[in-house]
Amino acid sequence: MPSGLNTPQRAAVNYIDGPCLVLAGAGSGKTRVITQKIAHLIQSCGYEAKNIAALTFTNKAALEMRERVAKLLQEPGHAKQLTVSTFHSLGVHILRREAASLKLKERFSIMDSDDCYSVIQDLSATTDKALIRKLQQAISLWKNALLTPEQALTIAKDENEAQAARLYRNYVATLSSYQAVDFDDLIRLPVELFRTDEAARDRWQRKLRYLLLDEYQDTNTCQYEMVKLLVTGPGKKPMFTAVGDDDQAIYAWRGASMENLRTLQTDFPDLKLIKLEQNYRSSTRILQAANAVIGNNPKLFEKALWSEHGAGDPVKVLAMEDDEAEADQVAMMLSAHKFERRAKFSDYAILYRGNHQSRSIEKALRRERIPYVMSGGQSFFERAEIKDIVSYLRLIANADDDPAFIRAATTPRRGIGQATLEALGEFSGQWQCSLFEAVFKGGIEARLSERQLFPLREFCEFINQLESRASRVGPSGTGENAAAVLDDMMKAIDYEPYLYGAFDDRQAQEKWQNVLDFIGWLKEKGNGGREGADGEKSLLELTQMVALMSMLEGRDQDPDAVRMSTLHAAKGLEFGHVFMVGVEEGILPHKGDPDSPPEVFAQRIEEERRLMYVGITRAQRSLTLTWCKKRKRVRENIVCEPSRFIKEMRIEEGDALPDQEAEVTPQDRLANLKALLQKPKAA
């Protein structure tokens, strides 16, 4: 029997008679409900672990969930049999099992965002980055809405949209010929399969007998359809628990639909609704401000968060002269507050609406020597130039890695065009072999001309030569060590001239420096590290190390540092003390398209209000909001107004100027505190 739960939490865990929606407010213990319910299903309800799936949106959330379930189970080994994953990971699992039904080879390739960008760039014959990204987003939204290229063409409002729909058709055909899928296909293709193949659908329904869905308000049309297809069927009772919060729906821009919460009640008339309203995170004052703001939105479901944590510190709203003053003051206030409370840096977060706001804050933190980490920023291994070089290393380590083959064979360009790759992809699909193997397979000559085949074979022979040396270590100085192989590879691929040809000088220089840093780091590791204590490594060993590091990057590091984050990236996190900066009209709420129709404008304001709510509810003990009277934009100062959401919080902000306490400058307060700490104690 689940223990340590409040009454609504216990009701949510114990209810297994049909579909259930748990409306879980911020900080109300939703992960606890999901993990306790999984344990309850296994230990009290006769479900086998292998028949339960818990789906969420991030690998981090899935990992945390699995670890928490393992601690609850009497047989911890059962946790390994559970399916605890993201929607997309489940999609990959289904596609691997059902590849033949979808005319995919077992080792189909998954194209990342950069790979797809390159395909769209080739198809659209343009170098306009903004246009390519716009086309990429349009295709993604069409796929997530389950629209085919033909349907997209039918609903096109003008010639631009019609052109985009035609490009979508060519894009789908290109990926099919490559025997590749993109990120959106990982859910779209299983949906198509389950709609048309009863046997496959029945197989997966018998495998996954109970579904638990985390952050349900973030699902899009495609994800909801996959859930429906897994839990419904003739004579089948839908068994699932969806956990979500309509007040934290902040991803409409990437296709998430709040309608899924509304439709749930229509599609499943027997739906049991349970509300979790007790908040275990924040003080009462913070919750009152959050409830007051979100109360201005129309409600799908009425709820009000409450807490037993006491009133807590007053919520502060401070006006700043400009963005530089804001950055300096926040750094000083944070430093002084940390001294006063004897807190850790990791107890603090600085949240903002857009990444561009972080630059001045970063400068101020560095000046004050305050350590910080960024959320939502790009990791070193995610940079395009690093991924280009790594694609060669991946191919040397595994010739069957098709995405690595496509990237390495075309970056830099070496006479291998799209038509060549499409013909090669079709041939490899027919023979169920990798693209690399297909180059040397009998019969390829009938598909490709000598002019097409020559650069392909030249490239593959080059990779083979490197591979034959990559597994050798050899004593230093023999030339057969990782550094020598790397040098020969970089010389042969001519990457630096490619960068200067593709980007402006400043960008090219920056990217080339990143590549040199990466190669230098690899060489150092290949020679046994700085002190040579780790032993010399071969290039293959280095490649495996890089693959692991890029997958695990940042996962197990939890330094004592202030967290800087966009509001979107902060969702799901909590901090003792939160500073929200730039709470102004035009930033939060974001100004958006001024020409949009009134109903679109209203929806956007509602979503921005939910974003404000998410920001407020990240704070446990103290919350400080800042806004600027003027802000620098492209060399001129713009007069700013406080966000409408500040007034909606209904706190005693007066004229939103610093209060009496703040008249003593943070610099003075910090100096006083340091002096106090340095005073010798009385005998």
Return the active site residues. 30-31, 214-215, 248, 618
Q: How far apart are CA 351 and CA 407, in angstroms?
A: 36
Summary count for the chain: helices (H), strands (E)? 30, 18
- How wide is the angle at C-alpha 477 spanned by C-alphas 474 and 481, nearest 5°? 40
Burial of 214 (0-12, 13-18, 19+ CB in 10 A): buried
Strands 562-566 and 372-374: parallel
DSSP helix/strand/coil, 477:
coil
> Comparing C-alpha atoms, which of 174, 212, 170 is closest to residue 65?
212
Contact (CB, 8 A) for 394 and 110:
no
Q: How far apart are CA 337 and CA 399, in angstroms?
A: 55
Helix (H) or strand (E) run with residue 580 in it: strand 575-580
Token pair listed for 269 = 């008339």
Cα–Cα distance list, 103 to 176, 178, 432 (Å):
9, 12, 10
3-state secondary structure 407-421: HHHHCCCCCCCHHHH
> Comparing C-alpha atoms, which of 443, 425, 444 is closest to residue 435?
425
Mention every residue, 6+ apart, whose C-beta is less than 8 A from residue 314: 285, 651, 652
| Helices 384-397 + 402-410 axis angle, to 10 | 120
- The string of DSSP letters for 32-89 reads HHHHHHHHHHHHTS---GGGEEEEES-HHHHHHHHHHHHHH-SSTTHHHHSEEEEHHH
- Phi, psi angle pair for 241, to nearest 5°: -125, 120
Residue that the structure tokens 């090219």 belong to: 508
DSSP state of 323: H
Token pair listed for 375 = 């959320």
Token pair listed for 45 = 């309800």
Q: How far apart are CA 87 and CA 106, in angstroms?
A: 20
